[in-house]
Amino acid sequence: MLTRSQIGALGSGSFVMATSMLIVTGMLVEMAQDLGLPVTVAGQLVAAAPLMLALASPTLALTTSAFSRRTLLIWGAVITAASHFLAAASDSFAMLLVARALTGLGAACFMPQTAATAVVLAPANQGGRMLALVFVGYGVANSVGLPVGTWLGAVIGWRATLVIIGFISLAVGVWVWRALPAKIVQAPLRAASMFDVARDLAIVTSIGVGLLQSLAQFTVFAYIAPSLRESLGGGASTTAFMLAVYGVSGIVGSFITSRIADRLGPVRIIFIAIGLMMAALLAWSLGRGSYPLTLLAMVFWGLGNMPIPSALPVRLIALNPSLASASISFNNTASFGGAAIGTVIGARMIEAFGYVSLGWVGIGVFVLCLAMLSLSQRMSHGRISRR
């Protein structure tokens, strides 16, 4: 049974990891100016962390599956803290890229274990609800961490802001150490499990959903700060406010999901979430220069984004519990690989067609994502509930 302190430790870890991965998006303009680089080049700093997470996650899942989940969580927090201290001290773009890659490595240690630990400690038939509660940390990161970080980056500088996040990450490591039992183990992951995942088309297509939804979002989200400034004018305060609206909506979406997740099932949750995000990008694309439409876009986007990080692992576990460690690891790889790819695509679209093109590209990718989800549902027919 998960205690409140354990949920708090895992949720705060989700908050720190999400903030660490996303914080550069809100400070991208300031960092690009400080480094003397175009925004599209500085955007590589957004891609570096998710790319490292995507590459490291399967290897760590295979080599550390016999370790206690608490040990991996603590190491993830420590590596994340060190990466922020290194980034704050960086004196070159290359050194900053290395620091951001270390952030991805820390997240690769920590983030998969939040889902695994919640499932191991959760009461029977409450896995979906417990995951949704733990992943509320992502919503808090978007509603508090990202907008406050954006504002702090403009007020005290991006380097000081990263130092603060580093110390918060260390505090999370201490909380995890004190709150969680020392021995939280799963069956060791075999290399053959990786191949078993690749042969299971229902799992592969579900992972494809994670890749496509992340790609669609980060085509836009990686450049949300400069895009908002180009569309609405204003400075860091306007950007921080819009990100706060997005994040508060994400928290609302997370709490709603925690209430209905086990009743509706992950497939329905994901369908609804993608529909909301498509509506968000439509309002975003049609509302260039319109404060009300941009505000509406941020509300829909937040509501739709937060349910997916908890719904996809629940579906993967239901498809084949014995392959859950491997499939969730690959899902992390696909989702954060999609974020890195989307960041690169977004840069190319800005250079070719300007910020106005980003939302339309995202909508097109979401259409493919819905088709992939439908295919995954057909592939799993007869294995689990069609919910």
DSSP string, 146-171: HHHHHHHHHHT-HHHHHHHHHHHHHH
When divided into structural domains, the chain yields a total of: 1
Looking at residue 299, its pLDDT comes to 94
In a domain, 359, yes or no: yes
Looking at residue 341, its pLDDT comes to 93
Looking at residue 275, its pLDDT comes to 95
Ranges 11-20, 109-118, 181-190, 338-347, most confident: 338-347
* pLDDT (mean) for 132-145: 68
The DSSP output letter for 188 is P
> Could you give the residue ranges of the DSSP H alpha helices within 141-265?
146-155, 158-179, 191-199, 201-221, 224-232, 236-264
Amino acid, single-letter form, for residue 281: L
Share of the chain above pLDDT 90, in %: 40
* pLDDT (mean) for 138-152: 76
- CATH of residue 353: 1.20.1250.20
In a domain, 118, yes or no: yes
**Mean pLDDT score of the chain, rounded to an integer?**
86
CB-based contacts of 386, cutoff 8 Å, min separation 6: 265, 267, 377, 380
Amino acid, single-letter form, for residue 228: L
Euclidean distance between CA atoms 9 and 134, whole angstroms: 9
Q: Closest by alpha carbon to 243, among 257, 255, 229, 263?
A: 229
Looking at residue 164, its pLDDT comes to 95
In a domain, 207, yes or no: yes
Mind listing the pLDDT tens digit for each residue in 50-102? 899 888 888 887 787 778 888 999 999 999 999 999 999 998 899 999 999 99
Is the distance from CB of 26 to CB of 153 less than 8 angstroms? Answer: yes
pLDDT of 261 higher than 80 = no
By the 10 Å C-beta count (0-12 exposed, 13-18 middle, 19+ buried), 1 is classed as exposed
pLDDT band at 387 (very low <50, low <70, confident <90, very high): very low
pLDDT band at 385 (very low <50, low <70, confident <90, very high): very low
pLDDT of 324 higher than 70 = yes
Q: Closest by alpha carbon to 219, among 376, 15, 357?
A: 357
pLDDT of 344 higher than 70 = yes
The whole-model pTM stands at 0.81
Looking at residue 15, its pLDDT comes to 86
Which position has the higher pLDDT, 66 or 203?
203
Ranges 48-57, 66-75, 273-282, 333-342, most confident: 273-282
Looking at residue 126, its pLDDT comes to 58
* pLDDT (mean) for 247-269: 81
* pLDDT (mean) for 276-299: 94
Euclidean distance between CA atoms 119 and 212, whole angstroms: 25
Mind listing the pLDDT tens digit for each residue in 4-59? 788 888 888 888 998 898 889 889 888 998 888 899 898 889 899 989 988 888 88
pLDDT of 382 higher than 70 = no
In a domain, 79, yes or no: yes
Looking at residue 111, its pLDDT comes to 82
* pLDDT (mean) for 236-263: 81
Amino acid, single-letter form, for residue 104: G
Looking at residue 386, its pLDDT comes to 44
pLDDT of 127 higher than 60 = no
Mind listing the pLDDT tens digit for each residue in 171-194? 999 999 988 888 776 666 677 777
Q: Closest by alpha carbon to 325, among 1, 18, 62?
A: 62
Over the range 151-185, which residues count as b (16 or more CB within 10 Å of their CB) and which as e? bbbbeebbbebbbebbebbbebbebbeebbeeebe
In a domain, 387, yes or no: no
In a domain, 385, yes or no: no
Parent domain of 236: 4-379
CB-based contacts of 151, cutoff 8 Å, min separation 6: 236, 237, 240
What's the chain's Rg over C-alpha atoms? 19
By the 10 Å C-beta count (0-12 exposed, 13-18 middle, 19+ buried), 286 is classed as exposed
In a domain, 96, yes or no: yes
Other CB atoms closer than 10 Å to residue 59's CB: what's the count?
A: 12
In a domain, 384, yes or no: no
pLDDT of 130 higher than 70 = no
